Structure 1
Amino acid sequence: MDLEDHLHEYLKVRRSNLLAKLDGLSEHDARRPMTPRGTNLAGIVKHVAGVEVGYFGEVFGRPFPRPLPWFDDDDAEPDADFWLPEDQTVADVVELHHAYAAHSDATIEALPLDAPGIVPWWEPERREVTLGRVLVHVLAETARHAGHADIVRELIDGAAGMGPGDVNLTRRTPQEWAAHRARIEAAARASTRGGER
């Protein structure tokens, strides 16, 4: 397996991690805002779709075959890619995820890492890129958003990691987790005794 294959495989895994955060959630829970700025799981997945469509489509002259109104319309409202209006469902976003992933994969498989591209939304001095640079950029962005999704999912229903069998998670009962959290909170409060530091 060469470097391009390794990077591509990491991207596929991060995409899968991100999409898995929607598993088992109701329509409401997948799309409800969980932060003061409205961050929600389905919106994160929708946003990453637009990221890949742009970077692996437009940048390399391989446009995605269907419009994304939240990006393509000049009058689209800001942040329209980060939430779902009433007429869009989580199933629509999951289907979009599969479609953009297939489109991106075709671009990655068709081009070498040194294939040139132009990122029109970057500053002029940075616009000329290669597939390798874009692949690393999108991999980092997808991993970043998968991390956001980890936290949002935990806020919704306590689910963490990659599921109940995730070997990277410490095994604790709900009571033990509550005690652990209380201990961390107590340490945080104790750190400010005697005035703010």
Structure 2
Amino acid sequence: MSDEPSRSALGGAQRWADYLDWIRAEMVSAVLALAYDDQRTSRVPSGWTPLELLHHVLHMEQRWFVWGFLAEPVADPWGDWSSPDAPEARWAVPSDVTAEELTARLEAVAVRTRGVLRDHALDATASTGGRFDDDPPTLEWICFHVLAEYARHAGHLDIVAEQSRD
């Protein structure tokens, strides 16, 4: 486990960027530490695998910061789902995609997120026309939401990684 961001580091947007970088790195390390088969094996009743979880968080972060806040087009904003409109939809990863590829893609999303946090005030409201048509959230609200989602998923991944070692 890596060290949590420093208590004396800059606050505001930089603190959000630091915490997102930290939790993202924790999740990547946990998935990469698993054997190939364990990355693709579900150990929970809902059926997700560590690789699917990594795929999900990269799409989730992109949905909120790029498609959501910036309202930029995203090729497949729901690409982490087998069929986003179907009631039985679940996370899915193409069989030829590796954890290393997902790590590189997640880092590209992280670069975009850090840029958003560097270039926009936390009280700025998300643009409309992408994910949001009306009542768009502020950047700070998005940061809270994304960090909370990462934290939940990191906890899930910790348990699955522990089960993989047993």
Using structure 1 for the length normalisation, give the TM-score: 0.67
- Check 1:157–1:74 CA distance in 2 against 1; reply closer, same or farther (3 A cut): closer
Contact kept, 8 Å, 2:38 with 2:164, in 1: the verdict is yes
User: Counterpart in 1 of 2:28?
Assistant: 19
| Backbone CA RMSD of aligned residues | 2.9
Q: Size of the alignment, in residue pairs?
A: 154
Give the unaligned 5+ runs of structure 1: 159-197
Q: What is the Cα deviation at residue 123 of structure 1?
A: 9.9
Alpha-carbon distance between aligned partners in 1 of 2:15 and 2:144, rounded to the nearest angstrom: 11
Using structure 2 for the length normalisation, give the TM-score: 0.78
Q: Which AA in structure 2 matches 1:24?
A: A
Q: What is the Cα deviation at residue 2 of structure 1?
A: 2.6
Q: Which of 124, 137, 156 is the matching residue for 2:164? A: 156
Q: Which AA in structure 2 matches 1:37?
A: S
User: Counterpart in 2 of 1:3?
Assistant: 12
Contact kept, 8 Å, 2:43 with 2:49, in 1: the verdict is yes
Alpha-carbon distance between aligned partners in 1 of 2:47 and 2:19, rounded to the nearest angstrom: 28
User: Counterpart in 1 of 2:109?
Assistant: 100
User: Counterpart in 2 of 1:169?
Assistant: none
Q: Which of 125, 134, 139 is the matching residue for 2:142? A: 134
- Check 1:66–1:101 CA distance in 2 against 1; reply closer, same or farther (3 A cut): farther
Instruction: Indicate the structure (1 or 2) with the bigger Cα radius of gyration.
Output: 1
Contact kept, 8 Å, 2:66 with 2:74, in 1: the verdict is no
Alpha-carbon distance between aligned partners in 1 of 2:125 and 2:99, rounded to the nearest angstrom: 35
Alignment of 1:68-147 (within 5 A): 70=79, 78-79=89-90, 82-117=91-126, 127-147=135-155
Alpha-carbon distance between aligned partners in 1 of 2:126 and 2:19, rounded to the nearest angstrom: 21
Alpha-carbon distance between aligned partners in 2 of 1:41 and 1:85, rounded to the nearest angstrom: 14
